[in-house]
Amino acid sequence: MNKLSFNKTKKFKMHNIQGVLFSTGSCGFKKKNEKDLVIIQLDKNSKTSAVFTSSKTISEPVKWSKKNINNDIRAIVVNSGNANALTGKKGYDSIKKYINIIAKKINCSVKNILVASTGVIGEQLDYKKINAIVPELLEKSKKKCCSWNSFFQSIMTTDTVPKFASKKIKFGKETVFISGIAKGSGMIHPNMGTLLAFIFTDANIPKNIINKILLDGIQHSFNSITIDGDTSTNDSVFFTATCKKKNVSINSFKNNKYKKFVKQFNNLLLDLAKQIVKDGEGAKKIIKISVKNAKTYLIAKNIALSVANSLLVKTLFNSNELNFGRIFMAIGKSNELIDQEKISFSLGNYLIAKNGVLLIRNSSNKIKQYMNKKELSLEINLNSGKSQATVYTCDLTQEYIKINTNYLS
């Protein structure tokens, strides 16, 4: 196990996964010679699934990986500092040129390698910079796997803290591990955000099972967070089962092993997703928005996102003003058919509105004290059904504007 520390964050233990090797380095995409490249090598029996951005304008790495995801994957190559988006055929061809070198070195086809990029959109990616350090990185991996901390530094952009999560699951005498790492701080909105995530397990799981586990898992994690309402061109979440623990075979959707594994996997994804929201660009607070008693899950989810993405609601939580009419407004702009006279909502333990009528009109010191907390909970009750959904967001601060008006400088 590796002990992690990054800036002033507390140390955290991550479980290493058999069948996964990664090596990191700097090829010059970021300033000050910071780490900006990681090559993840996977055991030849590994099974990999992935989910990509729903944006209609996608990066060249997403195009490449979507084309090759159904193959047997032997490596994932990730760079930061350059998104390789809005770069056209030249950007796609640059991927071929550095993947060719890596494929030869690890003795596989270019079709067995996936790629991911994050960083500035619109700049051509100089593949020669990657090719220049590939031999060194692959040689390094033969001697020792790099730390998880080094992995994170290689994929971060505006992140200020690392996002790690790790789980240990006992199946009789066998122990299975799941470890995940994610980056993302801005341009975060379902489906998904400018986020990259990599989850690994040593459990023995076939391809069709890991596909379902990942697709189901992201709905209540990465697809239930929003920071600024913008969906990136580069979103990618990868999940690999190295199948090293042969005695822990999760080969059915119905057995208890599947249920036990999925529970821990979903907890890990939600943990990573919440870490991304907490590290939202300029964010001071994380807000859990729950919509309950809706007619359908989709109605609940759309209303939760409508509230979470409202700039007026986000500044409300930052300012601590008791201007709760903004929440009522944001519920309505979802365009969902609702009965406003049945709507109630609470902030923490404080009932703010009931049956479509605001209860809190004057200054309330207790509510203001609650709003000073770093983690807040808003519950909206539609009183119209039995479905519910939860979304996580953050407040909007002047720091967000500062970060995004100086991104290129």
Judge whether 39 and 141 are in contact, CB under 8 Å: yes
What would the two tokens of residue 365 be?
């010191």
Cα–Cα dist 350/24, whole Å: 49
Q: Which of 87, 194, 240, 393 is catalytic?
A: 194
User: Is 157 an active-site residue?
Assistant: no
What b-and-e string marks burial along 236-275, b requiring 16 or more CB atoms within 10 Å of the CB? bbbbbbbbbbeebbbeeeeeebbeebbebbbebbbbbbbb
**Burial of residue 349 (number of CB atoms within 10 Å: 0-12, 13-18, 19+):** exposed
- Kindly state the greatest CA–CA separation across the chain: 70
Residues in Cβ contact with 326 at an 8 Å cutoff, skipping those fewer than 6 apart:
310, 312, 313, 316
Tokens matching residue 282: 């300029």
Residues in contact with 95: Cβ distance below 8 Å, sequence separation at least 6, in sequence order:
60, 61, 64, 84, 115, 125, 127
- Residue 1 pairs in a beta bridge with none
Spatial separation of the C-alpha atoms in residues 321 and 177, rounded to whole Å: 45
Quick check: helix, strand or coil at residue 218? helix
Task: Name the strand (E) or helix (H) holding 212.
Answer: helix 207-219
The burial of 351, by beta-carbon neighbours within 10 Å (0-12 exposed, 13-18 middle, 19 or more buried), is given as middle
User: Distance from CA of residue 128 to its chain's centroid?
Assistant: 29
Is the separation of the CB atoms in 354 and 347 below 8 Å?
no
Which residues participate in catalysis according to the annotation? 194
